[in-house]
């Protein structure tokens, strides 16, 4: 089994009489997504095309795994279980997940005051953390798109509230896994500031320069 993350959209937030925050999210869509080869065990490949068949995304056992899945603040370094749930969870998927077009629809409820305040202050993106089996083998999806591997036995572990869901960032290619698992990349046309994440400052000939982790490693090697 491998760990993966996937950006999800949040909408329709509202407060309950008890002060909890109810929201809607979509997660883990069917279709092909791109992953950095280094994140899925294929460092010799720059990009790996991974296919999520609809019959796997919407399988009963997969949908059932979403029900009451915990919501966390950022991705934890380990899976959320009964042993650490009290320390990590700030809410949960409130009712049964269901098919919503090519996505899985997830009703959420946040019960932690600090987490609710963070969401209402702008930390509104979510990233699903799930496990699945990656079955390697070239193939063609029903829409004619080619893929290198398929995801099967998809099971949610948690949903993380994040400042910016990293899916869709070209800067993610070649970037190492820092927390939960592999994150998809896309050929989107987002502004440059959306593409460059987690910059660090290095000094070159006395001049401070902001670069990615990969760039810092290259500069250190050259120096």
How would DSSP label each residue in 53-104? -HHHHT-HHHHHHHTT-EEEES--SS---TTTHHHHEEEEE-S--EEETTEE
Looking at the chain, the whole-number percentage of residues with pLDDT higher than 90 is 39
Q: How far is CA 161 from CA 5, 9, 166, 184, in A?
A: 12, 11, 12, 17
What is the chain's percent helix, strand, coil content, to nearest 5? 20, 45, 35
pLDDT score recorded for residue 215:
62
Range 154-163 average pLDDT: 89
Q: Which residue has the higher pLDDT, 65 or 206?
A: 65
**Residue 217, φ and ψ in degrees, nearest 5:** -65, -40
- pLDDT beyond 90 at 94: no
Beta bridge pairs of residue 52? 31
pLDDT score recorded for residue 70:
95
pLDDT score recorded for residue 190:
38
Nearest to 110 by CA among 179, 6, 10: 10
pLDDT score recorded for residue 26:
79
- pLDDT beyond 90 at 101: no
Are residues 28 and 52 in contact, defined by beta-carbon separation less than 8 angstroms? yes
Q: Round to whole Å and give the CA distance between 220 and 218.
A: 5
Which among 134-138, 161-165, 213-217 has the top mean pLDDT?
134-138
pLDDT score recorded for residue 12:
72
Beta bridge pairs of residue 150? 51, 135
Strands 146-162 and 70-73: parallel
- pLDDT beyond 50 at 176: no
Q: Round to whole Å and give the CA distance between 82 and 55.
A: 29
pLDDT score recorded for residue 151:
94
Token pair 């046309």 is at which residue? 189
Q: How far is CA 153 from CA 11, 77, 217, in A?
A: 28, 22, 36
Q: Round to whole Å and give the CA distance between 115 and 214.
A: 32
pLDDT score recorded for residue 202:
61
Which three-class secondary structure state does DSSP give residue 204? Answer: strand
Please tell me the pTM assigned to this model: 0.71
Range 159-164 average pLDDT: 82
Of 24-33, 86-95, 113-122, the one with minimum mean pLDDT is 24-33
Contacts of 102 (CB under 8 A, 6+ apart): 29, 30, 31, 54
- pLDDT beyond 80 at 217: no
């Amino acid at each position: 089994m491998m760990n993966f993350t996937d950006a999800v959209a949040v909408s329709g937030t509202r407060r309950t009489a008890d002060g909890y925050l109810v929201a809607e999210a979509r997660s883990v869509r069917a279709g092909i997504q791109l992953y950095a080869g280094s994140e899925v065990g294929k460092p010799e490949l720059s990009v790996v095309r991974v296919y999520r068949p609809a019959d796997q995304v919407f399988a009963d056992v997969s949908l059932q795994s979403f029900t009451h899945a915990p919501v966390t603040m950022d991705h934890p370094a380990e899976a959320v279980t009964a042993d650490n749930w009290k320390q990590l969870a700030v809410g949960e998927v409130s009712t049964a997940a269901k098919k919503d077009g090519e996505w899985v629809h997830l009703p959420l409820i946040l019960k932690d005051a600090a987490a609710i305040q963070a969401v209402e202050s702008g930390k509104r993106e979510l990233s699903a953390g799930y496990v699945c089996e990656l079955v390697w083998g070239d193939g063609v999806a029903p829409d004619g798109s080619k893929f290198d591997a398929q995801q099967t036995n998809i099971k949610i572990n948690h949903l993380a509230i994040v400042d910016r869901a990293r899916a869709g960032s070209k800067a993610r290619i070649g970037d190492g896994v820092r927390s939960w698992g592999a994150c998809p990349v896309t050929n989107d046309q987002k502004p440059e500031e959306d593409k460059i994440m987690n910059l660090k400052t290095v000094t070159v000939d006395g001049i401070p320069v902001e670069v990615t982790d990969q760039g810092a490693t290259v500069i250190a090697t050259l120096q």
